[in-house]
Amino acid sequence: MDLELKYLKLKEHFKNAKVIESCAELIGWDERTNMPPQGADLRALQNSALSKLHHDLVTDSWLGDALIELASASVNLPDDSDICVNVREWIRVFNRANKIPVTLVQEFSKTFVYSQQAWQEARSQNNFVLFQPWLEKIIDLKRQEAKCLANGRVSYDALLDDYEPGATSLELDSIFYPLKDSIIKVLRSCSKENNRNLILGNYPEQKQKIFSEIIAGYCGFDFNAGRLDTTAHPFCCGIGPGDCRITTRFNPADFSSGLFGVLHEAGHGLYEQGLDPDHFGLPTGTAVSLGIHESQSRLLENQVGRSLEFWRFIYPLAIKFFPDQLSNIPLETFHKSINQVRPGFIRVDADEVTYNLHIIFRYELEKDLLSQNLSVKDLPDAWKAKMKTYLDLFPDNDATGCLQDIHWSAGLFGYFPTYLLGNLYAAQFIEKAKKVIGWNNNCLNLDVLSELRQWLKKNIHLKGKRLLPGILCENVTGEKLDKKYFEQYLMQKFIS
């Protein structure tokens, strides 16, 4: 069989594996939006069956020799060519999957269904004890996975690599802790004026949903290829070409909370919808990392969504939707209210300054949990201590403390740091974008939003996994990732 035929055979094989993965994504979306509570047993079996099928496909015995042969035959091709990128990433997937026993894959895929159900119940009842045994089991399974993958590395890094290829906790520490000091300086210098209560009122959920869909559409999210639903914890589910699901949760007292959730997930959605559909199932048609993915959601939510230019454009529409609540509030006052810097308990509602402190202490806690420096039973108290240290707040219940995020119930250890990486990438990307598109200080209209979307699609989305995250950043901006852009953004917005 010649080289081209072998490559085509591998493409078909890995596309089939991606189809199985997309089915798992779909039932995962259903679990968190529509599944009745008594469906958990069946859903666990479905997840287990799909995970085994996917694992069997990506560890098929014939793949090893075929991949080595293709890698050798394509050694003289450009590193970012389709064949080199796909073979490189297929080898990574094959090697990683072969280190993890299929029994462990199945056990985890069943367990996280029950774990997420337990988390939802514990959160609604404000009772960590209901979730504790499931979190203990999840962490045990993740430790086993990390042991399989570590190969001399720190266990946490073995899991982090699944979300941010090549990143290490040592590297993150060297970025996060100097940044933490800068963030605390910004926090201490921010205005203490309280405008937040001015926009609180009664905002009907259905009106919020319609308004949010309109604004997401303005930003480019295609509702003919996607949909918006409500859930306990917002997420984006990129099932495949023509099908991207985003979710949010609406606060009846504050419409901006649900809207920013939609903008965040729509940013993820634009990335998914911006991938090359002709490369579905291939690394060349897959997002490069979660840090880059989060840059797209944080950019739309914050650099766009919280900017005065954006609200000059959409505030008249917001007043039409909510005249009783907003018509007497001047634009500048409203804008100050949605950008108020004030430490709070809930990460997803946090301002752009304190959000980063939420991420750093979660990063510290999950490292301690995995390394057994912290026991699960002590997590609530450890969480409260971290929140007191970082935000000078002390939650009096677990629902606003260690039960507020879904991530650990789903086994997503190593995920949290990508939010902060996303903030750093977003600040650097938007600085470059502003120099090449028609963004000015007057108004972000539909034309400018379209230009921004097309620039992101061309420079980031359509690249797939051709470049590793750091190289992609350097390729797009001309510089390696540098925290100074985010520091400058915060200083100019909140202090200048």
* CATH 3.40.50.1000 assigned to 170-494: no
pLDDT at 1: 54
> Quick one: which of 363, 356, 359, 358 has its CA closest to 395?
358
**Structural domain boundaries in the chain:** 3-155, 170-494
Query: What are the pLDDT digits (tens) for 268-314?
Result: 999 999 999 999 999 999 999 999 999 999 999 999 999 999 999 99
265 is known as an active-site residue? yes
Hey, what amino acid is at 250? F
Of 265, 301, 352, 366, catalytic:
265
Q: What is the pLDDT of residues 26-71, one digit of tens each?
A: 999 999 999 998 999 999 999 999 999 999 999 999 999 999 999 9
| Cα dihedral sign, 282-286-288-291 | negative
Q: Yes or no: say if 219 and 304 are a contact pair by the CB < 8 Å rule.
A: yes
Mean pLDDT for the stretch of residues 354-379: 97
For residue 152, the model assigns a pLDDT of: 84
Distances (CA, A) of 477 to 64, 270, 429: 37, 20, 7
How far apart CA 23 and CA 330 sit, in angstroms, is 47
Angle, helices 331-338/308-321, rounded to nearest 10 degrees:
110
